[in-house]
Structure 1
Amino acid sequence: MTFRDDLRAGKALQGADFPRTRQEVLDYALGRDADEKTLEALRSLPEGTYDSLDQVVDAVPQEPEGARPGGTER
């Protein structure tokens, strides 16, 4: 997840009450019409219960910059 993805996840989960399970996080984001890239990031969350948005963002596996097509190779 990149910084931009962090912002997308924050927007998709804005107003969400925590704690939430992984599935509840996904359902909430779907209900807010999150874009596919955001949903893809949230689908990679490990199973469990998340106590805050920060915990959700921290739990999404990080993608090295440049790993995706169109990224910046360093």
Structure 2
Amino acid sequence: MSDTPNPIQVQKFLGGIDYPASKEDIVASARKSGADDNVLQALEAIPDGEYDAPTAVSSAIADAN
């Protein structure tokens, strides 16, 4: 994906999420917070698993692209 959202864009939709969080929880939280399609696509591309911090989510997005 050429339009990878930056970590700040992603994290503004994940405020209040409790870590560790599963990929499903992260995507659901972002969707509930009104994340745009670009952010949702980036989150849906991360590997399944548990993420222990916002930085882990950002790293997974970077690695998926």
Larger RCO, structure (CA 8 Å, separation 6 or more): 2
2: CA distance, partners of 1:24 / 1:54: 16
Aligned to 1:44: 45
Q: Which protein is richer in helix relative to its size?
A: 2
Query: CA offsets, 1:1-35, max 9 Å, x none?
Result: 75x52111110101211011001100000110101
1: CA distance, partners of 2:22 / 2:7: 18
Identity among equivalent positions (%) equals 29
Deviant stretches of 4+, over 6 Å? none
Larger C-alpha radius of gyration, 1 or 2?
Answer: 1
TM-score normalised by the chain length of structure 2: 0.83
In structure 2, the gaps of 5 or more residues are none
In structure 1, the gaps of 5 or more residues are 64-74
What letter corresponds to residue 31 of structure 2 in structure 1? L
| Count of aligned pairs | 62
Task: Kindly report the root-mean-square deviation, in angstroms, between the aligned alpha carbons of the 2 structures.
Answer: 1.6
Aligned to 1:8: 9
